[in-house]
Amino acid sequence: MKNKITSRSEDYSKWYNDIVSEAGLAESSDVRGCMVIKPYGFSIWELMKAELDKKFKETGHENAYFPLFVPKSLFEAEEKNAEGFAKECAVVTHYRLKNDPNKKGKLIVDPESKLEEELIVRPTSEAIIWKTYKKWIQSYRDLPILINQWANVVRWEMRTRLFLRTSEFLWQEGHTAHASKEEAVDETKLINDIYSDFAENFMAMPVIKGYKSESERFAGAEETLCIEALMQDGKALQAGTSHFLGQNFAKAFDVKYADKTGKLDYVWATSWGVSTRLMGALIMSHSDDTGLVLPPLLAPIQVIIIPLFKPKENVDEIEGKTTEIFQLLKSSGIRAKIDDRENVSLGFKLNDSEIKGIPMRIIIGQKEIDDDKFDVFFRHSLKKKSSDFNSLFELFSSSINSIQNEMISQSKLRLKKNTHEVDSYDKFKELISSQSGFIIAGWDGTNETEEAIKKETKATIRCIPELTDPQGINCIYSGKPARYKVIFSKSY
Amino acid sequence: MKNKITSRSEDYSKWYNDIVSEAGLAESSDVRGCMVIKPYGFSIWELMKAELDKKFKETGHENAYFPLFVPKSLFEAEEKNAEGFAKECAVVTHYRLKNDPNKKGKLIVDPESKLEEELIVRPTSEAIIWKTYKKWIQSYRDLPILINQWANVVRWEMRTRLFLRTSEFLWQEGHTAHASKEEAVDETKLINDIYSDFAENFMAMPVIKGYKSESERFAGAEETLCIEALMQDGKALQAGTSHFLGQNFAKAFDVKYADKTGKLDYVWATSWGVSTRLMGALIMSHSDDTGLVLPPLLAPIQVIIIPLFKPKENVDEIEGKTTEIFQLLKSSGIRAKIDDRENVSLGFKLNDSEIKGIPMRIIIGQKEIDDDKFDVFFRHSLKKKSSDFNSLFELFSSSINSIQNEMISQSKLRLKKNTHEVDSYDKFKELISSQSGFIIAGWDGTNETEEAIKKETKATIRCIPELTDPQGINCIYSGKPARYKVIFSKSY
């Protein structure tokens, strides 16, 4: 059984592609830059969705659905937002095809079906949503509006990578409306905390929270909060963003509310989102040269049970034990599966479960039953623990949490080991060019410095963890007093 | 508290629109033919989705995701399918906007971003999916493929109605691939049965199952199974379809599999879907002149609890009882909500709960507590039952099923009362022009007869319940021996 995964040291980028492909997560489609999310990959995304959706609802948010298309005149209403996305918009210009008079069986766009106004396939939905909110909001009684939408969006990308950057992707986008700036700011933080908790506790991927610098902010936002994760190759990955939009969209769409005294003011807004990009982050956080590694809480199959039948053995007994442990696991909510495929070898099954990152595996054969000794294989550590049959359920059950916690600890350790504070540009450059990782350093707060560092080292400001003056620290680049301590890194 | 709902007898169509609007289910958007599904409407759709998704997964189907766009050359590969949808396709022709040189702050489509090949926004996904399946299928070992996708699709409609017919709608589309015709045919039936069970038991909307006549078949299908429901105005609504696609798509995309002997054959296919149209069916099946009526199993709020505080009363006691019953309901999985809004009157709350179709309602005030007599109001019957506090939970709990069953019985009765068998065209015309409903009649199986009846009466063949010769029955129109007994109706 030859492992088809390229090793990380050989070619990190190919390693990633191999895992996405061999684990059956996604593949490229015939549509430029768009992916097919395969069933196994999609089932991981479904687990992510379910948990995030629960967290949103617990904090008072409701789901709704807004149109896929945005008329151009609405799209351009908030100028900064429009400018930010204009260069990557798929545009619908016609609404009908007709038979090609010159080629039988072929179709052409019917020129008579040209739309009076072009429709933009949503790259994000602020425009269409705020146009709708205008109808919904008259008074403070109509606020807050706390809405989320699970949807597909399209941003035309020239260089794409499965999950990490695709022209169409799936995401959730929250869009909230508030009667005060403070409430909107609090919402932005609440959501960024939800993202951070989810990343750490479910994805086992600790993140650094912070604010984006002006140049990295969402187009149309006053402030962008984000969570930044660190991949195994030392590059950062922006895993979620939560934007305080001020009154920009309310002004663009003239959305005002009357307060208790009847005074009119523009409504305050936030928007926030995570996408199928999280799949890329999950893959790159934990996987190894054997294949995918999944934290149990996001594993579609947490335990794979492989019955092993050899000639002249007691098939009924093996099947009985297999079913017994499967039922026990299932009835207590553990996602278990029996791999009883007849047309593939044991070696194939073992390899398959490892490539797919199934957290725990057990083989049930005559020898194991006779010896009352069963080996549970743990994917994250590649180690085994033995157990008698009666203790098996307890071992599986307790290991869900212990594996999850071990993976969180490992990731935290990696994050810590790869986060360095520097006080000189020389050290900065040395680190960035060798191991990369997160580099904490003083920044004078200017665009010029940010640009220069980016140009010279390819590192960008991933986030500003605290918007406070770091007393007595200088900017590593300009030597001037630092305005903030920030996190630099190369990034995806 | 004035009820804003037009009565059914006054204007059935306006009644429907009023309910969609006043119950907060959906509204038109600024995009022609596209709707905004509002939070309350979307939460009903989420309950539908969850139940259907469970049924699909229980029968071995997995979810996946395929691209929104279909390149024109793929779209036209299966000619009948392409022909069927060509006239309602939104077409993406460009991928970039740029600043309008003549108008500051405005954008125009960048002519330099014209796509070499136009992209069709999927009206259905057979083409893109079968192009993908070609990569996945080599041998019988790769079959069956049982995949479902929850997605948005676009079919450019000239005349739209919220939920019933919109240019963009949400749906699920199953696409399966099989090694034998028989297996594919069985799959088609299995799914149509799932749809029928869901409609009857969850939507409390009994349906008639059957086959579509050739003229009503899905473009590209060999056979279309469907479920047909009957609305309160006597018109039919096609609520779900399940298509046996034969080898049409396999041939269009050259998808062959090797059987156990190595012999190559084209793969057999099915596709099937239900959409947000079900929301329209649900609304029109049960609602009355007071507002929406929801079967408890699809009600986002099953019990609304309204605490009633009057001056000088014991607020703590009222709040205590309110919380106690709420917690009891919640902990046993009943979807309950406390309506403790301070800025609206009791009358408003009562009206609101009725318009929204919340199945059960209770007011908890000092009088109710002192008398230990609580009235539970049932939305579907507009009747009340009294209970002491200790029996309240039991009443709510048992009523979930009893309301559901009553609604199913009522709907079955309505279906029965409005289904008539006729043996002459005169009786047929009389029925169709007066009360409509489902009319069972003999049909000679010809397109001409079907067309003539449609032209003269606006009634179409909704389905053919059994593909068997109805021995000794004549066609109501031509008088020739009937090929099938079929169901005629006017329809949505």
Mean pLDDT within A233-239: 96
Give start and end residues of each alpha helix (H) in A207-305. Answer: 248-252, 277-286
pLDDT tens by residue, B124-139: 999 999 999 999 999 9
Distances (CA, A) of A219 to A73, A215, A468, B231, B342: 17, 9, 24, 47, 38
pLDDT-derived band at B311 (thresholds 50, 70, 90) equals confident
- Write b or e for each residue in B372-385: b if 16 or more Cβ atoms lie within 10 A of its Cβ, otherwise e: eebebbbbbeeeee
Task: Report yes or no: A232 and A285 within 8 Å, Cβ to Cβ.
Answer: yes
Q: What residue ranges define each of the domains in chain A, with the CATH number in brackets?
A: 12-93+121-286 (3.30.930.10), 301-399 (3.40.50.800), 420-489 (3.30.110.30)
pLDDT higher than 50, residue A297: yes
Binary contact (A72, B128; C-beta < 8 A): no
Strand partners for A360: A303, A378
Task: Report yes or no: A204 and A286 within 8 Å, Cβ to Cβ.
Answer: yes
| Element holding A45 (H helix, E strand) | helix A39-58
The reported pLDDT for the residue numbered A457 is 96
Average the pLDDT over each of A83-97, A303-317, A414-428 and give the range with the smallest value: A303-317
The reported pLDDT for the residue numbered A77 is 94
Tell me what percent of chain A is helix, strand and coil, each rounded to the nearest 5.
40, 30, 35
The pair phi, psi for residue B467, each rounded to 5°, is -85, 50
**What 8-state DSSP symbol labels residue B288?**
B
pLDDT higher than 70, residue B2: no
Give the gap in angstroms from C-alpha A422 to the nearest C-alpha of chain B: 42
Of A30, A79, A121, the CB nearest to B92: A121
DSSP of B409-457, one letter per residue? Answer: HHHHHHHHHTEEE-SSHHHHHHHHHHT--EEEEEE-S-HHHHHHHHHHH
Which residue in A376, A83, A308, A414 sits closest to A218, CA to CA?
A: A83
Those of residues 130-149 in B touching chain A at CB distance below 8 A are 131-132, 135, 141, 147
Give the whole-angstrom CA distance, residue B146 versus residue A97: 31
Contact list in B for residue A27 (CB cut-off 8 A) is: 132, 135
Beta strand pairing call for B69-71 and B114-121: antiparallel
Those of residues 356-375 in A touching chain B at CB distance below 8 A are none
B35 touches chain A (CB under 8 A): yes
Task: Report yes or no: A264 and A258 within 8 Å, Cβ to Cβ.
Answer: yes
Closest B-chain CA to A110: B87
Closest A-chain CA to B94: A91
Average the pLDDT over each of A293-307, A407-421, A428-442 and give the range with the smallest value: A428-442
Binary contact (B90, A65; C-beta < 8 A): no
Give the whole-angstrom CA distance, residue A321 versus residue B66: 39
The reported pLDDT for the residue numbered A312 is 80
The reported pLDDT for the residue numbered B435 is 78
Closest B-chain CA to A111: B91
pLDDT higher than 80, residue B153: yes
Closest A-chain CA to B90: A95
A435 against A133, higher pLDDT = A133
Can you give the length of chain A in residues?
492
Q: Which residues contact B437 (CB under 8 A, 6 or more apart)?
A: B230, B234, B417, B418, B419, B420, B431, B489
Mean pLDDT within B168-197: 98
H, E, C per residue of B148-177: EEEEEEECCCCCCECCCECCEEEEEEEEEE
Q: Count CB neighbours of B58 within 10 A.
A: 9
Task: Say whether B20 sits in a helix, a strand or coil.
Answer: helix
pLDDT tens by residue, B50-70: 999 999 999 999 999 999 999
Mean pLDDT within B410-423: 96
Average per-residue pLDDT for chain A: 96
Report residue A238 as tokens.
Answer: 């922006």
A341 touches chain B (CB under 8 A): no
pLDDT tens by residue, B231-265: 999 999 999 999 999 999 999 999 999 999 999 99
Task: Report yes or no: B244 and B180 within 8 Å, Cβ to Cβ.
Answer: no
Max CA pair span of chain B: 87
Give start and end residues of each alpha helix (H) in A145-238. Answer: 181-197
pLDDT tens by residue, B65-102: 999 999 999 999 999 999 999 999 999 999 999 999 99
Report residue B299 as tokens.
Answer: 């009600």
The reported pLDDT for the residue numbered A330 is 97
Rounded to the nearest angstrom, the gap between the alpha carbon of residue A47 and the centroid of all alpha carbons in its chain is 12
Model's pTM, two decimal places? 0.97
The reported pLDDT for the residue numbered A1 is 45
Which residue in A459, A311, A334, A316 sits closest to A393, CA to CA?
A: A334
Q: For CA atoms B113, B119, B122, B123, give the dihedral sign.
A: positive
A44 touches chain B (CB under 8 A): no
pLDDT tens by residue, A321-370: 999 999 999 999 999 999 999 889 999 999 999 999 999 999 999 999 99
Of B76, B79, B132, the CB nearest to A29: B132
What single letter denotes the amino acid at residue A233?
Answer: D
Beta strand pairing call for A268-275 and A236-246: antiparallel
Binary contact (A31, B71; C-beta < 8 A): yes
Average per-residue pLDDT for chain B: 96
Task: Say whether A226 sits in a helix, a strand or coil.
Answer: strand
Give the whole-angstrom CA distance, residue B292 versus residue B354: 7
pLDDT tens by residue, A100-115: 999 988 999 999 999 9
Q: Which residues contact B424 (CB under 8 A, 6 or more apart)?
A: B476
- The packing angle between helices A447-457 and A425-434, to 10°, is 40
The reported pLDDT for the residue numbered B166 is 97
Mean pLDDT within A174-194: 98
Of A66, A76, A88, the CB nearest to B105: A76
Of A42, A69, A87, the CB nearest to B31: A69
Binary contact (A87, B105; C-beta < 8 A): no
pLDDT higher than 60, residue B141: yes
pLDDT-derived band at B4 (thresholds 50, 70, 90) equals confident
Disruptive mutation site among B56, B68, B70 for chain A (greatest number of A CBs within 10 Å): B68
Task: Say whether A84 sits in a helix, a strand or coil.
Answer: helix
pLDDT tens by residue, A440-468: 999 999 999 999 999 999 999 999 999 99
Beta strand pairing call for B236-246 and A438-443: unpaired
Mean pLDDT within A371-378: 98
The reported pLDDT for the residue numbered B269 is 98
pLDDT tens by residue, A9-38: 999 999 999 999 999 999 999 999 999 999
**Which residue has 């207590």 as its token pair?**
A332
Distances (CA, A) of A42 to A287, B34, B65, B149, B289: 18, 27, 7, 10, 43
Which residue in A176, A55, A178 sits closest to B39, CA to CA?
A: A176
